[in-house]
């Protein structure tokens, strides 16, 4: 539909097809570099040093300037942290292929460098996917997550060129990259990101259970509801049905095992799965 109608008409009907100007970060800003995972990650901070921290993560091919309007509104109250993802904006890359896991590790590395334990995270596109990755792998580092325009598998990017906005965005971001990048190797970045997008992210179906987040040790009644919730979705997913067994003891260890079973069933993986073993998932969060 995009190629057969006048672009002015389209823009009036679908305002999101207009690419607004790239904002500027408020002045003054003192951008710095932190050595993270063997590369230099560019970052800058606005707002009071003791403010509640918010980390902003931009989308693919972009840079931190795209958060200029949000920072302007929030910097009087919040500690606003911005970083250019590896290979993008002012941050150089390495010979290592870019992945969401690697960029997530960069975020954790920067937070450790800044001695910040927990953050509100606001992510757009690739930044939102990194946020989802953090929520799954480092939930205790997040106070909250706002994920805008994230996809959970690679099919979410298959029609990305159908809109005229994305090619226009690529043209603009390429020009911005050439002005900002200390290495100026756009073709490598383009190859890296498009290769990543062809296969990643690749998340399994997950049922998010709010009670698990809010209160790990809970009543048998609540655990029973969690089982029922998961089972009600089994016909729409690959999640196996869960058999509920009653336990009159109603003790902490029983609930711990029940919640463990629920999460493992949601993830459709075995308790001895390599990922869980490496992440010490049960030991840390159950």
- Asked if 61 and 158 sit in the same domain, the reply is yes
Tell whether 1 is covered by a domain.
no
User: Are 139 and 285 contacting, i.e. CB atoms less than 8 angstroms apart?
Assistant: yes
> How does pLDDT run across 239-273, given as a tens digit for each residue?
444 444 444 455 555 555 655 565 555 554 443 33
Tell whether 277 is covered by a domain.
yes
- Asked if 228 and 131 sit in the same domain, the reply is no
Tell whether 204 is covered by a domain.
no
Q: What is the DSSP string of 17-38?
A: GS-PPPP-PPSS---EEEEETT
Residue 71 has phi, psi (to 5 degrees) of -65, -40
- Asked if 215 and 102 sit in the same domain, the reply is no
- Asked if 192 and 71 sit in the same domain, the reply is yes
What is d(CA 146, CA 27) in angstroms, rounded to the nearest whole number?
A: 26
- Asked if 79 and 174 sit in the same domain, the reply is yes
What does the pLDDT read at residue 9?
Answer: 54
**CATH code, 84:** 3.40.50.1820
The total number of structural domains that make up the chain:
2
221 or 176, which is more confident: 176
User: Are 148 and 128 contacting, i.e. CB atoms less than 8 angstroms apart?
Assistant: yes
| The last residue of a domain, from among 164, 199, 234 | 199
Which residues sit opposite 35 in a β-bridge?
40
The residue range of the domain holding 69 is: 7-199
- Asked if 58 and 191 sit in the same domain, the reply is yes
**pTM (global) more than 0.75:** no
- Asked if 101 and 234 sit in the same domain, the reply is no
| The last residue of a domain, from among 199, 231, 256 | 199
- Asked if 121 and 25 sit in the same domain, the reply is yes
What is d(CA 108, CA 17) in angstroms, rounded to the nearest whole number?
A: 34
Tell whether 102 is covered by a domain.
yes
Per DSSP, the three-state class of 202 is strand
> How does pLDDT run across 213-235, given as a tens digit for each residue?
344 444 555 555 555 655 555 44
Per DSSP, the three-state class of 276 is helix
Tell whether 127 is covered by a domain.
yes
- Asked if 135 and 194 sit in the same domain, the reply is yes
DSSP 8-state code for residue 153 = B
268 or 32, which is more confident: 32
What does the pLDDT read at residue 283?
Answer: 42
Tell whether 99 is covered by a domain.
yes
> How does pLDDT run across 113-132, given as a tens digit for each residue?
999 999 999 999 999 999 99
Tell whether 2 is covered by a domain.
no
- Asked if 221 and 240 sit in the same domain, the reply is yes
Tell whether 205 is covered by a domain.
no
- CA triple 166-146-237, angle to 5 deg: 85
- Asked if 230 and 182 sit in the same domain, the reply is no
User: Are 207 and 233 contacting, i.e. CB atoms less than 8 angstroms apart?
Assistant: yes
- CA triple 161-163-166, angle to 5 deg: 65
Give how far Cα 157 sits from Cα of 79, 152, 186, Å: 32, 10, 20
* CA-based nearest residue to 89, from 66, 116, 55, 113: 66
- Asked if 220 and 109 sit in the same domain, the reply is no
């Amino acid at each position: 539909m995009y190629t057969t109608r006048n672009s002015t008409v389209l823009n009036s009907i679908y305002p999101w097809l207009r690419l607004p100007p790239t904002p500027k970060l408020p002045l003054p800003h003192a951008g710095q570099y932190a050595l993270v995972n063997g590369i230099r990650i560019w970052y800058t901070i606005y707002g009071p040093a003791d403010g509640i921290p918010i980390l902003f993560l931009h989308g693919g091919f972009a840079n931190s300037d795209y958060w200029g309007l949000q920072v302007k509104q929030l910097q009087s109250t919040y500690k606003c942290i911005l970083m250019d993802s590896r290979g993008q904006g002012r941050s150089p890359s390495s010979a290592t292929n870019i992945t969401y896991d690697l960029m997530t590790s960069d975020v954790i590395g920067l937070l450790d460098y800044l001695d910040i334990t927990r953050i509100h995270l606001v992510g757009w596109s690739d930044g939102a996917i990194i946020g989802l990755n953090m929520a799954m792998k480092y939930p205790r580092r997040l106070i909250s997550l706002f994920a805008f325009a994230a996809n959970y598998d690679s099919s979410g990017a298959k029609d990305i060129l159908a809109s005229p906005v994305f090619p226009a965005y690529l043209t603009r971001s390429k020009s911005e990259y050439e002005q900002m990048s200390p290495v100026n190797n756009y073709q490598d970045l383009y190859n890296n990101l498009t290769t990543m997008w062809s296969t990643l992210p690749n998340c399994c179906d997950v049922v998010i259970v709010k009670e698990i987040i809010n209160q790990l040790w809970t009543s048998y009644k609540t655990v029973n509801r969690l089982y029922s919730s998961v089972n009600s979705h089994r016909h729409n997913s690959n999640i196996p049905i869960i058999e509920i067994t009653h336990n009159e003891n109603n003790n902490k260890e029983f609930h711990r095992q029940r919640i463990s079973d629920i999460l493992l069933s949601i993830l459709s993986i075995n308790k001895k799965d390599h990922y869980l073993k490496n992440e010490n998932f049960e030991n840390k969060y159950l």
